Structure 1
């Protein structure tokens, strides 16, 4: 059972208090002492004791017609019961709907918005179960525990839209009058400017819901892209005549609220909302150069208009994100298109942060700067290379002009055990100090574009063994800096593997890595990685040792002490050693001591279309190891399922004297979705 989240409780308390304080001309008892006791009991994990006090407040508040405290105590009751009572959300919905029956403006709209949120929270808590339902409930069914996702979201939608009635009255109620109740963090003081009225609050809550994918569940029909006619300046947008269709509700809400702020000339609220509107429209348009350029043009126009206001940072941040997205699509093989877009994003953010370092979006801009300028590099090399022969590797790099490399030889078995535990920076710092087999540095071009680039490096020939190749942007390979490493084997040995599940065996061919010829008399040692509960770590245990024959071939039985497992192996001959790449997975069954029934089903084709007939034939056998017997006169149940694993139709069949059966299903015209 999940508890009612704190953020929901707070929003319920704050929002419902708004409306009733508006109507309270006389100062009412706030029960500060009592509520402190309630909060302390909650902190101690005593919800039932806290509920007793909340209920006593409710009785007094009800008698004195102290509506804010009545509702506050009701909300506390719901929250506290959520910690120990089943179906607390259904109970909460019932309580709020009872209160709604006699509510007037603005309590009515607040309750409607909150009921929408309660229904949404109920859906989100039970999503996995609700989404698995078909439309079980009749249209008049009041038991929401039987509602499907479509009906629940239709109710959520209904309440959010209803909460926006009486718009003119709600526009006259300023939120700032209730700062003590809002308890807005000092860092979020701009909230009053962004949502100056109660209508702003309710409309934004509705917009937030309709921007989710859940809202679409109440609308039958497929999603489609928006028209680019909505990607226009705000004064043009509010003049567009919207179609009366369900899929344009969010645009209508943006239009209604933007119209209010244009008339009121509320710069901060208008710009914040318009940026969200532009972003919403752009994200729902066809992604092409034309729409991207229009979006950039609109953002640049806004940035020039509000260059001397702190809101400039918010515009700059969104504009930089668009340039960053374009820059991330740069393809060196396709020329210079998008190559310099990251520079534009970086420059825009730096101007914004320098101008208004304390603005709300300044940190977001700084994070973009940090991301664009982050140093990254890495090598792509083969896991194994031939001894005493130089080889090439690819180096990817970004925002770095010099790199340092060091190759050190390490004990493969010790490294394997350490890697199982965790290869942290401290362990790497120890390895990197080992005597270097080879070290060098490379100067890289200063591309000045913040893009990923690549070049090839020549690695000198190395003797047989296991190595770590370190790369760093500092000459001392400081563990606090950018330090990368790649494991590398140098060996003439290579191998091919094959596992046979039926025979519960594993086959191995060892070959010369350069010539491809078989390598005989190679010692093969198998290992298994196991978890030690007491030590809370993984360790490697040796299993068996084998040797390849004159053809470099080895066939071994898989272990039989577990239902399924995996293992690694090492190859060794004449000082040349190699560990397998990753784990070899093995599967096997426990020895059958009884017959098990198995059905083999065959269809006349692989792919079917809606309305077609699926002809099938089946054979039922009893199987114990390699002993197989047909199963005549055996009853078989068959079900045709849709993609949601719901039964579409079913058949009952009985096998004939040969243990077989046949039949047909017709796929519905609507398919199996």
Structure 2
């Protein structure tokens, strides 16, 4: 929906200031210089790109060209990060300094919006490490690298709220005025014409990325609201008492959208308001139960209001999406209901296209209708059939006038295996044409799937292939091919011991053992497309249909099938050699360290006592590692090593030690690490409880399920 509503993009997510500030240097010249910067970036030359951006920055400062100054500062911050991770916070101080010097309300609003987004990006780039830190409250470290998740989120909120604080001035600032550095979509001026609209949409986008620890339903309940309340029409939604408190990030999305919708309503931008309503509904899909109950009625109420207006195509598109999802989620046994709902959707889209053929985005509905009636077919059936009896393949199809199959005989099942593995791209010279088979397709509406069966009259054992031509053609770059074999043999294998395999060959129809059959084994060698299959062994079955085979040292990539006389068996099967790999791994000695601490929670300055137990595993046996040296290191919440100790294991394979935690460290999850083991624990500024709860002794005995009253 945003593709229609506002395709305003910040260059490098950066918005610029008033075009009137650009005094001497023509924007085309800046564009030429930025093209050079982009070229250097593509070549992964951040140092050279930074030098070019520095030149742009000096010119922009001389000309008081605020947009280009901001853009240059953002680029330099990005290059600092690429060249030196320690400098990645410089861009914040640069923009903060520019913000403090600015006296223009719109310029300051844009700078706030940029800073909020940059804080979000910084968090996302390093979120794995930041999330390990215990959240700090009431204190913000001077070093951003010690900030916790909530501090970053609060900074995002602080700057996004500041970017929208001067609503009246922003509503008076037209987006088109800033076209020098704002890339506008063609619909932006019509639907979201002011900088307030633009910045509000950016704020919503950022708030949607903030993670909330508490479920939104609970926050709504404290306001005597339910998820269903959020599905209210615009005139009711803008009056909801949302009023988010500190840390209620997911409510800030709705509060910002509520204010934006109120502004659009006051300005009489009804189409823009509708687009926001549609976006709001789409964002509520996470409330699955409420969405299933309220989304479609809400959309249908909107459609009633906009009936006869070409702009209703936007609503129809969303209704179609919801109905399509409902059809998709119908259980398999509800075929008749699925057909009925699909027909309703087909007619619904068809009528809308007929009613509003000239609407500029009517392609939305045309694409949905096209997807609903996409020509397609699929095949299902056995991979191997006995030589006698019916060979039936099921064809499922949609919107096809005709379907013709061509039957080919393949020289060898090895060719089929190589083709299906992608080794051989074509079987053109390894197949012989047998016959053409027209497939009888029953009449079916274009939106509905039909089903028919192909019956093949074949008796000669071998490998076969079916290819298809359809009218109209399907969207697949290649029509699907179907491979199968005719064989009266069925073969099973099992691992019987170290590198030892048993094969059983039976009659596919009767299940009786087949004597004097052969198991043919092939080795796949080489690298994928350059690989080949080479026959390595043939093993005959005894009177019980059993063949025994012991593989060599390199038993991976082995394939097999059964043959007897002219019956060359089914398609190749890869030999399961699991035990071989397990044995190979177990032959390699491996060490493991199990680490234990005396507690799971400590305060800064306390002592962490630990024990490390070392073991070795070889030949599937685990043993204690006595007399082994090991180094145990202590790491803080940022993963930085604080200290380390060396120890030697005793006769029980263990060693002990202790670390004193430093004072003034960032709280969070600390860890002890060795080369082959780790253990984590928390470091917090906590206090022991200052009260005690005691209970009187329980008298008597009670049965399970009885109620017991405790006094104390």
Q: TM-score, normalised by structure 2?
A: 0.73
1:573 aligned residue: 564
1:55 aligned residue: 54
Question: In the alignment, is residue 499 of structure 1 matched against residue 508 of structure 2?
Answer: no
Q: Unaligned 5+ residue runs, structure 1?
A: 1-6, 602-618, 647-651, 661-666, 669-673
Question: In the alignment, is residue 540 of structure 1 matched against residue 533 of structure 2?
Answer: yes
2:414 aligned residue: 413
Report Cα offsets for 1:558-614 as digits up to 9, x if no partner.
34237xx3321121111111245542342336779989478899xxxxxxxxxxxxx
Q: Secondary structure at the match of 2:433?
A: coil
Task: State the alpha-carbon separation in 2 of the partners of residues 355 and 410 from structure 1.
Answer: 54
Task: State the alpha-carbon separation in 1 of the partners of residues 431 and 354 from structure 2.
Answer: 40
Question: In the alignment, is residue 487 of structure 1 matched against residue 483 of structure 2?
Answer: yes
Question: In the alignment, is residue 42 of structure 1 matched against residue 37 of structure 2?
Answer: yes
Asked if the contact 1:384/1:491 (under 8 Å) is kept, the reply is yes
Asked if the contact 1:329/1:338 (under 8 Å) is kept, the reply is no
1:291/1:470 Cα in 2 relative to 1: closer, same or farther (>3 Å)? same
Question: In the alignment, is residue 295 of structure 1 matched against residue 298 of structure 2?
Answer: yes
Question: In the alignment, is residue 286 of structure 1 matched against residue 289 of structure 2?
Answer: yes
Alpha-carbon offset, residue 207 of structure 1:
1.2
Report Cα offsets for 1:245-282 as digits up to 9, x if no partner.
52422221221111111111112321211211222235
Of 450, 459, 462, 1:462 maps to 459
2:333 aligned residue: 333
1:196 aligned residue: 193
Of 543, 550, 563, 1:557 maps to 550
1:545/1:148 Cα in 2 relative to 1: closer, same or farther (>3 Å)? farther
Q: Unaligned 5+ residue runs, structure 2?
A: 1-7, 219-225, 595-612, 640-646, 655-679, 682-712
Task: State the alpha-carbon separation in 2 of the partners of residues 632 and 78 from structure 1.
Answer: 50
1:365/1:474 Cα in 2 relative to 1: closer, same or farther (>3 Å)? closer
2:433 aligned residue: 434
Of the structure 1 ranges 365-374 and 60-69, higher mean CA displacement relative to structure 2 is found in: 60-69
Of the structure 1 ranges 341-350 and 485-494, higher mean CA displacement relative to structure 2 is found in: 341-350
1:241 aligned residue: 241
Asked if the contact 2:10/2:183 (under 8 Å) is kept, the reply is no
1:93 aligned residue: 92
1:158 aligned residue: 158
Task: State the alpha-carbon separation in 2 of the partners of residues 344 and 591 from structure 1.
Answer: 61
How do residues 196-595 of structure 1 correspond to structure 2 at under 5 angstroms? 196-211=193-208, 214-216=209-211, 219-222=212-215, 224=217, 227-242=227-242, 244=244, 246=248, 247-286=250-289, 290-304=293-307, 307-309=308-310, 311-331=311-331, 333-334=333-334, 336-353=336-353, 359=359, 361-400=361-400, 402-411=402-411, 412-421=413-422, 427=426, 434-436=433-435, 439-446=437-444, 448=445, 450-474=447-471, 483-499=479-495, 503-532=498-527, 537-561=530-554, 565-580=556-571, 582-586=573-577, 587-588=580-581
Report Cα offsets for 1:27-56 as digits up to 9, x if no partner.
522355753552353255266555445434
1:346/1:482 Cα in 2 relative to 1: closer, same or farther (>3 Å)? farther
Task: State the alpha-carbon separation in 1 of the partners of residues 299 and 488 from structure 2.
Answer: 57
Alpha-carbon offset, residue 387 of structure 1:
0.7
RMSD: 4.3
How do residues 137-176 of structure 1 correspond to structure 2 at under 5 angstroms? 139-176=139-176
1:98/1:178 Cα in 2 relative to 1: closer, same or farther (>3 Å)? closer
Task: State the alpha-carbon separation in 2 of the partners of residues 319 and 429 from structure 1.
Answer: 48
2:221 aligned residue: none
Alpha-carbon offset, residue 192 of structure 1:
1.5
How do residues 80-119 of structure 1 correspond to structure 2 at under 5 angstroms? 84=83, 86=85, 89-104=88-103, 105-119=105-119
Q: Secondary structure at the match of 2:283?
A: helix
Of the structure 1 ranges 75-84 and 515-524, higher mean CA displacement relative to structure 2 is found in: 75-84
1:654/1:89 Cα in 2 relative to 1: closer, same or farther (>3 Å)? closer
